[in-house]
Amino acid sequence: MITPIPFYYLRHGETDWNLQRRMQGRADVQLNETGIAQAHAAKSALSGQEVRTICTSPLARARDTADIVNLALGCPVVTIDDLAECSFGDYEGEPYGDWVVEWRRGGALPGAESYDEFLARSVAGINRALTFDGPVLIVAHGGVYWAIQHHGRIDTDGPIPNGVPVWHDPPTGDFPGWKAQTIA
């Protein structure tokens, strides 16, 4: 369960492996030129928002995105290991394929975290981030966002886009799921 506290979420900017639809996992892939530009666009979008703490994955693509955004926000930046992308084991660097769907259904991958273990770790990282002075901006990965989609009951038409900040409001009596709103 995600602690019912409003927060921002930002998936890191694009990498070359995103373009190639390769599963990055724990591989420390750098932002490409588009990803750097996306981080600067997110910085502009968030510059008028109240953010008191940025919590980020330790992987460079997320940390670099957080550092660029923080040029406008000037907040403390906290690295949280549990916000790192899933370890896909032997499948890191492989193209996205049917194996991902099977893994998400409970199938095992050699050397990888199970999907359920990954979701539990991601929720723990999100909840740890939400203990810091807020509103908090979490900068992490598309996979970590699966935990928010799953536990927050957020319907989307696919993965969260790279470099687009999203505001999240917790469930209310009128609406049982989290509300997600893109910040432009």
- Residue 107 CA: distances (Å) to CA of 53, 100, 126, 151: 36, 9, 25, 20
What phi and psi, each to the nearest 5 degrees, are found at residue 180?
-120, 130
Q: How many Å apart are CA 75 and CA 142, to the nearest integer?
A: 23
Options 85, 92, 141, 168, the catalytic residue: 85
Determine whether 12 is an active site residue: yes
CA distance 57 to 79: 6
Whether residue 33 lies in the annotated active site: no
Q: Which of 12, 14, 92, 141 is catalytic?
A: 12
Do residues 8 and 169 touch, judged by C-beta distance below 8 A? no
Distance set, CA 162 to CA 15, 103, 142, 143, 158 (Å): 9, 23, 8, 12, 12
Please tell me the distance from the alpha carbon of residue 20 to that of residue 25, in angstroms, as a whole number: 14
Q: CA-to-CA distance for 122 and 85, rounded, in angstroms?
A: 8
**Catalytic residue annotation:** 12, 85
